[in-house]
Structure 1
């Protein structure tokens, strides 16, 4: 089990936590049913567990609830991945979980919905481009701007901005044409190169100058992109908190009557920015799906194609004061 988790989930603490949660859930069910170890489960056992996941249940308050389809799909995908790995490495002679998860069909039907509407993004951009709040030091504010800029315009996963000392990733290269390219350690340990638009550069240059670095990364630079106040590289939780701090500040500056935008900002996370970046590539700029897949680091082009199914009804909000200000 440790070898499986190290190979399939060690690239991201969030993926590791999700895998461990689902496998513990399966182990708890096996304990209740008097089954186990996991490697002894038959196909009938696994199908029975799938039925349990799909079934309705009563919570502590007595309310009948059914697990969300995405939750069931995630649980079955984790189990299928474990048994497929066991089978591939020779630990099991057959794979009883073959076809247990919806797999490709689930990817084809999946449609992303966690987006920040255009008005909310424009409002965030305006807030981030402004002066630092009175209670935030300029260096901290510059760091937050730089972090938000990278998630906003590079579409990276949360953990992909965490510094990897051995790989010297992530890092930025500047070519002869002055084009900035972000290199990250992507999912599955695959390096990915993402061209950065010019909108990124002012925030990144300002942050570098305040850190005492040249405005543009020199060739061969091996330094973390983002530092804490003590000079250490920021981890996943700190990166997440920095982005959430900008969202929270932006939410406080939304007029009271624009409740929809304020609510979206209060719920948003870094992955919402990744969804927005993906949709911009696929829908707004009509980037070919294989190219968008490479930029996003998707294992399947079907995941990338899902963004083409998003429509305006998922992103539309009533015309608000914030939207009118952005247009003006």
Structure 2
């Protein structure tokens, strides 16, 4: 049996990102959420992957060895530029602390930073950096984006993988409740009829 992941509400996402103390983690969390990236996809972003002219990011060699293009939100572009000026690494947007040519930001450090901020925000859910990707997909569906578009953005091979997010949306739950109520509202029950 597959368990449904915990997701953050949009307000919780905003709180987590804004209360993350270290700039590098804050910008990485914003990048994960605003583009629906996997952790490895985000930390391996290179300067050349950002196409500011077309406002998109080239995700290279993602899961399954596939590339994809994802939209780049203006706010994320500004944050990435600001953060890059703090380290000016010639290749990586998220280099390791030592700023060495092949050193990437530490996954463990990101996960630890997420645990810390979740604790400080008093959020009682099982949340990791990957939860930002789950939240992104769920929030897009709640805003009315179609399932096929979300599949493309996430780089899922199967639509079934993306479809699991429909079980997490408030809209799906609301629509389900409305449909069930519609089914039962027309029923004449004995006690209502005075029989």
Bin of the TM-score, shorter chain as denominator length = 0.7 to 0.9
Confirm or deny: 8 A CA contact 2:56 2:69 kept in the other structure.
Answer: no
In the superposition, relative to structure 1, how do residues 281 and 125 fare at CA in structure 2: closer, same or farther (>3 Å)?
Answer: same
| CA distance, structure 1, for counterparts of residue 37 and residue 48 of structure 2 | 11
Task: Give the superposition deviation at 1:201.
Answer: 2.7
Aligned equivalent of 2:156 = 298
- Listed one character per residue, the Cα deviations across residues 184-232 of structure 1 (whole Å, up to 9, x for unaligned) are 321111011111212313321211111137xxxxxxxx71221112113
Which structure's CA Rg is the greater one? 1
- Listed one character per residue, the Cα deviations across residues 88-135 of structure 1 (whole Å, up to 9, x for unaligned) are xxxxxxxxxxxxxxxxxxxxxxx743212333212113214xxx5xxx
Q: Which runs of structure 2 are paired with 1:39-188 in the superposition (5 Å)? A: 69-70=1-2, 112-128=4-20, 132=21, 141-163=22-44, 171-175=49-53, 179-188=55-64
| CA distance, structure 2, for counterparts of residue 288 and residue 312 of structure 1 | 15
Aligned equivalent of 1:95 = none
| CA distance, structure 2, for counterparts of residue 124 and residue 162 of structure 1 | 19
Aligned equivalent of 2:193 = none
2:97 to 215, 219, 229: 229
Higher RCO (C-alpha under 8 Å, 6+ residues apart): 2
Aligned equivalent of 1:89 = none
* Structure 2: tracts of 5 or more residues without a match: 174-195
Give SS of 2:124's match.
Answer: helix
| CA distance, structure 2, for counterparts of residue 170 and residue 202 of structure 1 | 16
Measured on the aligned residues, the alpha-carbon RMSD in Å equals: 3.0
In the superposition, relative to structure 1, how do residues 273 and 199 fare at CA in structure 2: closer, same or farther (>3 Å)?
Answer: same
Aligned equivalent of 2:124 = 263
State yes or no: 1:282 paired with 2:141.
yes
* Structure 1: tracts of 5 or more residues without a match: 1-68, 71-110, 133-140, 214-221, 255-260, 316-328
Aligned residues: 171
Task: Give the superposition deviation at 1:300.
Answer: 0.6
| CA distance, structure 2, for counterparts of residue 162 and residue 245 of structure 1 | 15
Aligned equivalent of 2:82 = 206
Give SS of 1:263's match.
Answer: coil
| CA distance, structure 1, for counterparts of residue 111 and residue 84 of structure 2 | 18
In the superposition, relative to structure 1, how do residues 202 and 169 fare at CA in structure 2: closer, same or farther (>3 Å)?
Answer: closer
Could you state the TM-score of these two structures normalised by the residue count of structure 2?
A: 0.73
Task: Give the superposition deviation at 1:275.
Answer: 0.5
1:312 to 164, 170, 192: 170
| CA distance, structure 1, for counterparts of residue 172 and residue 12 of structure 2 | 14
Give SS of 2:60's match.
Answer: strand
Task: Give the superposition deviation at 1:143.
Answer: 1.4
Aligned equivalent of 2:191 = none
Select between 268-277 and 303-312 the one with higher mean Cα deviation. Answer: 303-312
State yes or no: 1:241 paired with 2:119.
no
